[in-house]
Amino acid sequence: MRNRLLLRLLAIALIGIPLLSAAAEPISEKPNFIIVFADDLGYGDLGCFGHPTIRTPHLDQMATEGMKLTSFYVAAPVCTPSRAGLLTGRLPVRSGMSGGGDKRVLYPGDEGGLPPEEITIAELLQDAGYATACIGKWHLGDKPEYMPNSQGFDYFFGLPYSNDMNIEEGHPRHASSMDPDADFHWWDVPLMRNGEIIERPADQNTLTRRYAQESVSFIKEHQDQPFFIYLAQTMPHVPLFASDDFRNESSRGRYGDVVEEIDWCVGEIIRTLRETGLAENTLVVFTSDNGPWLRKKFAGGSAGLLRDGKGSTWEGGQREPTIAWWPGRVPAGTVNSGIASTMDLFTTAVHLAGGKVPQDRVIDGMNLSELLFHDKAGPRNLFFYYRGDQLCAIRKGPWKAHFNTWDGYSKVPPESHNPPLLYNLDQDPSEQHDIAADHPDVVKDLIQEAKGHLEAVTPGEPQYYELSPSWQEADFGLPSGAREVPKRNLQG
């Protein structure tokens, strides 16, 4: 420990000679990890991903000094299962956290949550000697046994679920609940520190600022120990709140205010890492839990050139604007379009920490070290897009086949496709030109991959589920019994 401290002090002393610190081997026997997980941020909502008016200088700078990942996916197109996928390195269907039917996320008071027998990235890093913090939104079950302190996090500061929850349906305030000028008192969401409610309702105006402060404090307090911070922003999920310094500052409106405050928050973290001499030993990854909530209009984001948004298995629902930063390790100014996923962050972090991923269960994550540190294509060639417990689409290399589509924006009825729709995502990232008819062999291959996957998947006991036979599975010969799992938990 003393040696680490001395080396860091030396690094601070040498700060005027940047070439040396960039060229030197990093102090990386146990690097720190920070995952900044925005909420409902769209692929097109950052300057470096092409937004014309939202100003994100800190994230742009992070991209200039690091890597933009342009085919980076989350495990599901909505909150709860996406978070479960990141923290466990597994497809949410395996842990029973996928949701299903009309029940797609957990609600306050639900009986279920992330099963204690699941092994989180925080638990593995904790075992490896890391200090671990969950700062921000949890949304993986609000009973004590499901909460962060029971899932490998030494420290928790944040909300147990989404910031729009705890207003009953039909309440007169509900209709306007997304009004960006609304009073935060309309939402009765609690702010917690570890197991204690410290504020209710949480003052949402200052949440992003306080998350930044908490993150900075945690970094400063753990300079002599490797640490992991899972910073799950509450914003830009509606309702949108920003602190005084950012409110009404963005020409993009309240949504822009909120994203610009998140950008500031990331800047504070990067600045702290530099000041503490930890920059060369810390991997920071910025991404989001799912695509933009398009139905919220001005209060929702933009998927840029991608189709659709939150809730959909079109690209806009699950491909996120992602930046990886680690001076001296992640090559500066690179753009990598290799397929990667939040689940891979699990495996990558465990590997870098010198640990081993669990051997007693299927782990979907893959080690991204070659991709991140050598700008290679990476190990992942397949990605599976689930809506709830339904496999809707599959990507293999540039090819994506849709068996079921469901428009996340307009709530039009879902459609099954047999044969599936086929797109070449490298050439047609906007999924505009179905070319299934031109590539029967590719279609056949992707159907086989999907069948093989479904036959091999063992769904976990559903933690929340509401049976709704409102749409059909694609008829591509999957073993239908595999999806007929009992419901365990219904709201209220």
In angstroms, the CA 44 to CA 53 distance is 11
Stretch that binds a copy of itself, among 45-53, 181-189, 213-221, 451-459 (CB under 8 A): 45-53
Q: 136 vs 304, which CB is nearer to a copy of itself?
A: 304
**Residue 264 CB, nearest approach to a copy of itself (Å):** 16
Query: Should residue 467 be labelled a site residue for a copy of itself when binding is judged by CB under 8 A?
Result: no
Stretch that binds a copy of itself, among 91-99, 135-143, 250-258, 352-360 (CB under 8 A): 250-258
Peptide bond preceding 292 in cis form (omega within 30 of 0):
no
Q: Where are the alpha helices (DSSP H) in 97-151?
A: 121-127
Query: Should residue 491 be labelled a site residue for a copy of itself when binding is judged by CB under 8 A?
Result: no
Query: Should residue 276 be labelled a site residue for a copy of itself when binding is judged by CB under 8 A?
Result: no
Grouping H, G, I as helix, E, B as strand and the rest as coil, residue 397 is coil
Query: Should residue 281 be labelled a site residue for a copy of itself when binding is judged by CB under 8 A?
Result: no
Question: Of residues 311-350, which lie at the interface with a copy of itself (CB under 8 A)?
Answer: 333, 335, 337
Asked if 443 and 422 touch (Cβ cutoff 8 Å), the reply is: yes
Q: Are strands 282-288 and 32-38 parallel, antiparallel or unpaired?
A: parallel
Query: Should residue 53 be labelled a site residue for a copy of itself when binding is judged by CB under 8 A?
Result: yes
Query: Should residue 395 be labelled a site residue for a copy of itself when binding is judged by CB under 8 A?
Result: no
Asked if 269 and 252 touch (Cβ cutoff 8 Å), the reply is: no
Query: Should residue 18 be labelled a site residue for a copy of itself when binding is judged by CB under 8 A?
Result: no
Which of 143, 174, 433, 444 is the binder for a copy of itself (CB under 8 A)? 433
Q: 72 vs 373, which CB is nearer to a copy of itself?
A: 72
Q: 223 vs 424, which CB is nearer to a copy of itself?
A: 424
Stretch that binds a copy of itself, among 44-52, 263-271, 388-396, 444-452 (CB under 8 A): 44-52
Which of 176, 251, 448, 468 is the binder for a copy of itself (CB under 8 A)? 251
Strand partners, 283: 33
113 exposure class (CB count in 10 Å sphere: 0-12, 13-18, 19+)? buried
Q: Are strands 399-405 and 390-396 parallel, antiparallel or unpaired?
A: antiparallel
Structure-derived torsion over alpha carbons of residues 468, 396, 288, 81, reported in degrees to the nearest 10 = 30
**Residue 245 CB, nearest approach to a copy of itself (Å):** 20
- Residue 396's CB is within 10 A of a number of other CB atoms, namely 16
Q: How far is CA 271 from CA 6, 65, 117, 215, 219, in A?
A: 20, 13, 37, 12, 11
Q: Where are the alpha helices (DSSP H) in 375-464?
A: 440-456
| Rg of the chain over all Cα atoms, to the nearest angstrom | 21
**Residue 412 CB, nearest approach to a copy of itself (Å):** 16
| Site for a copy of itself, rule CB under 8 A | 43-44, 47-53, 55, 57, 60-61, 64, 68, 70-71, 251-253, 255-256, 297-298, 302-305, 333, 335, 337, 398, 426-430, 432-433
